[in-house]
Amino acid sequence: MKVLVIGSGGREHAIVWKLGFSRKVDRIYCAPGNGGIGGQARCVDIKADNIKALADFAAKRKIHLTVVGPEAPLAMGIVDEFQRRKLKIFGPDKAATQLESSKVFAKEFMRRHHIPTAPFKVFTTSAEAIGFCKSVQYPTVIKADGLAAGKGAVIAKDEKQAVRVIEDMMERRLFGEAGASIVVESFLRGQEVSIMAVADGTTILPLLPSQDHKQAYDGDRGPNTGGMGAYCPVGFVDADMMERINEHILQPTINGLASEGVNYRGVLYAGLMLTDTGPKVLEFNCRFGDPEIQAVMPLLQNDLFELMMAAVNHKLSSFGKLNWRREAAACVVMASKGYPGKYSTGAKITGLEDVRDNNCFVFHAGTSRQGARIVTSGGRVLGVMGMDKNLKLALNRAYRQVSRIRFEGAMYRRDIGSRPGQPVKI
């Protein structure tokens, strides 16, 4: 079987890596790939947003399954185009992807289907939003409606900051048209957890829970990023909590979409806050989380290709249960200095050849190949994964490998996995 993976980040490298273990997969292509993915797949020089060229390639090469990594091509309708051509593709269609591409749609969908989330209001003008923020309780959360690469949600500590954020989004268009509408919602307190699940329109199979670290600096300080590290599993999410999440959030989401004529097939990602009154949805994504997937995939014992094909073919109900290694995995992201703001690229990366631990792997994100050299080409550069019998040992493995890798301006958090917390009693 031939598989095409679309994307160029750490998430896509993790997908390629895991697909490489399938006995049913003979060849993997990745478009466009990066400096590390070339070690496991043939990189194809087609950008992820060039939907026609990707569909043409899949048809010409007789690709058996295409897997979409990033959110942008999903929101553009790549799945609709592939399905129109009768090409098998893993991911939700454009209508389903509104759960991620529009915060307004997602919040109003949750209200319609009684899915627990924070109270909110939607605004289309900065004046109305600023006026509303004079009466809210702080901190409060302000979200750009559209896609903003994981950086469109800001926790405003006071009215002054809220006004500045609203003006940045709606007047200065910091995130372009994504800020034409915004959501202002109540701040939720508790433990955050990421739940990714594979769905086929009816049946949904949750993966192990994970927890990521969004802020740029130690101690959860600094601006939001796409994610600076993650670990799996999460000790405070037990079987009872997972059952509750499935019953009140995951399955109702799939059912609600189906009732509105949307057949959701692919990954449903629920970013949750476990509050004193129960789990509540912070956001939905329509693809694997990055870097969460880099900590979850190493623990999955099932064949990823078979799992994805079951979802595409609407056969998850007969797939059976997911099996997991009784270990822990942690991923530490190494980023370029200045990320998530301005950063330079082109720095030579050294020490990759010194990572020789079989329980570790380096997932490339913002890298490219220049001859024999691997150089930086993005904000998040590498995701260094370690796996062991418990979280502490997995983190030790990951950080040992981080210490061996160098590039100019490298930055990373030194406290990944330091807030696993206690079981949340509800």
Residue 420 has pLDDT above 70, yes or no: no
Domains of the chain: 2-91 (3.40.50.20), 125-180 (3.30.1490), 191-318 (3.30.470.20), 328-402 (3.90.600.10)
Residue 423 has pLDDT above 50, yes or no: no
Q: Region 210-235: what's the mean pLDDT?
A: 94
pLDDT at position 224 is 86
Q: Which helix (H) or strand (E) holds 330?
A: strand 328-335
The angle at the Cα of 351, spanning 346 to 353, to the nearest 5 degrees, equals: 115
pLDDT at position 151 is 77
- Retrieve residue 54's tokens: 């990707």
Phi, psi of 37 (to 5 degrees): -60, -30
pLDDT at position 419 is 64
DSSP one-letter code for 226: S
User: For a pLDDT cut of 70, what percent of the chain falls above it?
Assistant: 98
Q: Region 314-343: what's the mean pLDDT?
A: 96
pLDDT in tens, 273-285: 999 999 999 999 9
Secondary structure (H, E, C), 10-73? HHHHHHHHHHCCCCCCCEEEEEECCCCHHHCCEECCCCCCCHHHHHHHHHHCCCCEEEECCHHH
Residue 383 has pLDDT above 90, yes or no: yes
Residue 115 has pLDDT above 90, yes or no: yes
Asked if residues 355 and 401 have their Cβ atoms less than 8 Å apart, the reply is yes
Secondary structure (H, E, C), 109-172? HHHHCCCCECCEEEECCHHHHHHHCCCCCCCEEEEECCCCCCCCEEEECCHHHHHHHHHHHHHC
- Retrieve residue 204's tokens: 């949904």
pLDDT at position 104 is 96
DSSP one-letter code for 248: I
Q: Region 142-150: what's the mean pLDDT?
A: 88
Q: Region 89-95: what's the mean pLDDT?
A: 97
pLDDT at position 418 is 84
Residue 425 has pLDDT above 50, yes or no: no
pLDDT in tens, 149-161: 777 889 999 999 9
Residue 421 has pLDDT above 70, yes or no: no
- The mean of the pLDDT values for the chain is 95
Q: What is the pTM of this model?
A: 0.94
Q: How many CA atoms lie within 13 A of 182 on its CB side?
A: 32
Residue 326 has pLDDT above 60, yes or no: yes
Q: Region 187-214: what's the mean pLDDT?
A: 96
Kindly give the interhelix angle for 304-312 and 10-19, rounded to the nearest 10 degrees.
Answer: 100
Phi, psi of 317 (to 5 degrees): -65, -25
pLDDT in tens, 283-313: 999 999 999 999 999 999 999 999 999 999 9
The residue behind tokens 């759960």 is 99
